[in-house]
Amino acid sequence: MVLADAGLTPPTWDTRILASDIDTDCLAQTENGVYPIDRVTPVPADLLKRYFLRGTGRHGAEVRMRPELRALLTVRRINLAEATWPIRARFHVIFCRNALIYFDRAMQKAVLERLVSFPEPGGLLFLGHAESVFGLGAGRRRAAQRRERGRPHRRAAVRPPRPQLLQLGALGRSRQQRAPGDGDRRPA
């Protein structure tokens, strides 16, 4: 909804969303795109109207995601705790909200380090409110080094990112190269 609302799903673009979880019930619900109406009450009414269809008859207490939104989604079971994930694509934005809370510190670090290897340069990783990237040194260095590949290595000047939004694009650039406001953006 957010992508569509921001005009980032024009028919000429190949906009796709990979939705993953370990829980197959949760994935099945995403696959169907049908939700009890009380689960979507926090969604602003105009978004609901634009991107969901209201059920009728015995489905009157449900909403269904509109097919054009559903068409953007690929649903896949991924266990974040496994050593490899069946993902080859790169992403412009990753949302990993409130999933790290299930892991101990070592696993959180391992998962975060793997997560930062997936965004495109300049991509964004959103974490949950209570989650932090504290101690993510190795992953950030690797992300920075990937951007440097093919160029003489120099140490990336990295400002500590704000905890809830790690802007990967700023990692491989020096302070001079960084655009004003880089690393300072917050989700709307």
Q: Give me the residues that bind ligand SAM (CB under 6 A), please.
A: 21-23, 26, 78-81, 97-99, 102, 128
Closest contact distance (angstroms) between CB of 176 and ligand SAM is 37
Closest contact distance (angstroms) between CB of 100 and ligand SAM is 9
Closest contact distance (angstroms) between CB of 160 and ligand SAM is 24
Q: Smaller CB distance to ligand SAM: residue 55 or 103?
A: 103
Do residues 161 and 119 make contact, with C-beta atoms less than 8 angstroms apart?
no
Q: Smaller CB distance to ligand SAM: residue 102 or 134?
A: 102
Beta-carbon contacts of 74 under 8 Å, excluding residues fewer than 6 positions away, are 16, 17, 18, 19
Q: Smaller CB distance to ligand SAM: residue 55 or 85?
A: 85
* Token reading at 103: 């892991």
Of 6, 62, 59, nearest to 33 by C-alpha is 62
Do residues 143 and 169 make contact, with C-beta atoms less than 8 angstroms apart?
no
* Token reading at 162: 């704000």
Closest contact distance (angstroms) between CB of 108 and ligand SAM is 11
Beta-carbon contacts of 85 under 8 Å, excluding residues fewer than 6 positions away, are 78, 114
Q: Smaller CB distance to ligand SAM: residue 91 or 121?
A: 91
